[in-house]
Amino acid sequence: MEKNLILPFVFLLVLSGCAVGPKYARPEAVESKTPVGYTFAMTSPDSITNLKWWDVYQDPELQSLIRYALDSNLNLLTAIARVEEAQAVLGYNKANLGPTFGVAAAGKSSRFKSEAEQAGVAFNANAYSVLGNISWEIDIWGKLRHANRAAYAELLATEENRKSIYISLVAQIAELYFNLRGLDERYQITQRTYETREEYLRIINLRFEMGEVSELDKLQAEQIAADSKAQLFSLERGIIAVENAINILSGKPYSPIIRGLQNDQQQVPLEIPSGLPSELLVRRPDIVGAEQQLIAQTERIGVAVALRFPSLSLTGFLGVASPDISKLFSPNAVLGSVTGQLVAPVFQFGQNKRRVEVERARAKQFAYQYEQTILEAFAEVENSLAEIRTFSNEYEARTVQVKATEKSLLLSKALYDNGYTSFLQVLDAERNLYYSEFEKSLALENQLIASVRLYKALGGGW
């Protein structure tokens, strides 16, 4: 008797290993499109991604801004909630793998008069029962297991999306901070230039009143002073806009941003080693997330294939029932039943076949998106490496330019004061100095931002 009970369960266990549907394998195109090294890579084989963001960005005020944003950013909080949702979905799918249990209790009491009983419509007057029931779908073809693995891959993809938002948030705050400090520097340059031009205007006005210079010199001095004053208001708008952007990322209304180090005092490593391209496949969250989405879709194909095969479910109950409540738990009140049900699709006008085709077509889309994500990641690293190199060279050239224009301005002023040249030459020299200082500030800011973008492109910071 015991063997008769055990054999069916052994048979069911064997059947449950007959999962249908494809098994995931990384697309061959991914390996073929992964370069051996970066074109503009640094000489060091190490990767900066081994450093945490607080080791890369050492400005205390910048660190404070990043930490606040990581605690308060609404997009990141939303991503965290999505991870929690995916965990719940995974738990739900895991629960489908096992049987479900329930319990039901019922009691009924009826009364029939003698005439009603003689009419032949009466039934047992009293009935009491306590039943436990069980229902279990045997996962013969792997439908539930495929769904469970798909939910797990979705959870991993959601977690990688959270990491991507985390990295992007750190990078955005750092970029905006360096942009803000660059605007501060250019505001100071413009303020200093405006004060110098106002002094030019004052002296030119005195000379004009004394008849020593023409009205043209006076008008030119007024023009450049007004130009620098207008530039101050433009820079002020830019500063407020950047401060607002930082506040939005921090999940709060506008408030002035506390400054720390100036851009030329930052200790951000500008000679950043890039590591190997193959590291991106397991390091960058968006790449890992795209692959997990492909894995999840591959498992959904298995679900669709399994739906083409018969499904087997077991239902049963065990409990007690009696017309007399005092005898409800007596041995003779025990009752039970087990039912097996096999359901198979026969003819549905190709719906099951089309369902599989739909999931396979979706898997192709995820595969192409995965490859596209990898190509874009490689391009971002190459672009950032090129930006760091070129902005570094540009900054060095701008530094030489500033020194030359400073000396040119001194010589032009001396020649003008001694009557050897026109005021126009002084104005040209002064404009060249302002332009070169302005561009030098931009080159340094862009160099720092390029280092941020490379750090992000390499998947560092989480």
3-state secondary structure the chain: CHHHHHHHHHHHHHHCCCCCCCCCCCCHHHHHCCCCCCCCCCCCCCEHHHCCHHHHCCCHHHHHHHHHHHHHCHHHHHHHHHHHHHHHHHHHHHHCCCCEEEEEEEEEECCCCHHHHHCCCCCCCEEEEEEEEEEEEECCCCHHHHHHHHHHHHHHHHHHHHHHHHHHHHHHHHHHHHHHHHHHHHHHHHHHHHHHHHHHHHHHHHHHHCCCCCHHHHHHHHHHHHHHHHHHHHHHHHHHHHHHHHHHHCCCCCCCCCCCCCHHHCCCCCCCCECCHHHHHHHCHHHHHHHHHHHHHHHHHHHHHHCCCCEEEEEEEEEEEECCHHHCCCHHHEEEEEEEEEECCCCCCCHHHHHHHHHHHHHHHHHHHHHHHHHHHHHHHHHHHHHHHHHHHHHHHHHHHHHHHHHHHHHHHHHHHCCCCCHHHHHHHHHHHHHHHHHHHHHHHHHHHHHHHHHHHCCCCC
Indicate the range of 13-27, 81-95, 177-191, 393-407 predicted with least confidence: 13-27
pLDDT interval class at 274 (50, 70, 90): low
- Residue 342 β-bridge partners: 312
Range with the largest mean pLDDT of 306-310, 366-370, 417-421: 366-370
Averaged over 308-316, what is the pLDDT?
A: 86
Q: Which CATH class is domain 18-97+140-309+351-457?
A: mainly alpha
Assigned fold of 100-138+310-343: Outer membrane efflux proteins (OEP) (2.20.200)
Q: What CA–CA distance (Å, rounded) separates 314 from 188? A: 79
pLDDT given at position 328: 73
**Residues 199, 196: Cα–Cα separation, whole Å:** 5
Query: Which of 248, 218, 265 has the alpha carbon at shortest distance from 59?
Result: 265
State mean pLDDT over 143-152.
Answer: 90
pLDDT grade, residue 120 (50/70/90)? low
Q: What percent of the chain has pLDDT over 70?
A: 89
For 416, phi then psi, to 5°, come to -70, -40
Check: CB of residue 72 under 8 Å from CB of residue 250: yes
Q: Rounded mean pLDDT of 304-313?
A: 87
User: Which whole number is the average pLDDT over 162-176?
Assistant: 94
For 308-320, what is the mean pLDDT?
A: 85
Lowest mean pLDDT, pick from 29-38, 41-50, 159-168: 41-50
Q: Tell which residue, 247, 129, 269, has the closest CA to residue 177.
A: 247
Q: In the prediction, which pLDDT does 117 show?
A: 55
Q: Give the least confident one: 62-76, 313-327, 383-397, 423-437.
A: 313-327
398 neighbors 440 (Cβ within 8 angstroms): yes
Nearest-10 crossing angle of helices 423-457, 143-209: 170
Q: What pLDDT does 268 receive?
A: 79
Find out whether 287 and 369 touch, Cβ atoms under 8 Å: no
Is the pLDDT at 271 greater than 80, yes or no? no
15 pLDDT above the threshold of 50: yes
Q: Is residue 157 a contact partner of residue 296, using CB atoms and an 8 Å limit?
A: yes
d(CA 221, CA 458): 50
Query: Among 17-31, 112-126, 182-196, 202-216, where is mean pLDDT lowest?
Result: 112-126
Report yes or no: 286 and 373 within 8 Å, Cβ to Cβ. yes
Q: What is the mean pLDDT of the chain?
A: 85
List 103's β-bridge partners, or say none: 132
**pLDDT of amino acid 1:** 43
Average pLDDT value for residue range 169-176:
94
pLDDT tier, 220 (very low <50, low <70, confident <90, very high otherwise): confident
**Model pLDDT, residue 37:** 72
So where are the chain's domains?
18-97+140-309+351-457, 100-138+310-343
The rounded percent of the chain whose pLDDT value lies above 90 is 46
The answer, yes or no, to whether residue 12 has pLDDT greater than 60, is no
φ, ψ of residue 216 to 5 degrees: the values are: -60, -45
pLDDT over threshold 80, residue 202: yes
Give pLDDT, residue 2: 46
* 449: nearest Cα among 270, 285, 276: 270
Cα of 58 vs its chain's centroid, Å: 24
Least confident residue range of 142-146, 154-158, 340-344: 340-344
Residue 102 pairs in a beta bridge with: 133
**Predicted local distance difference test score (pLDDT) of residue 13:** 53
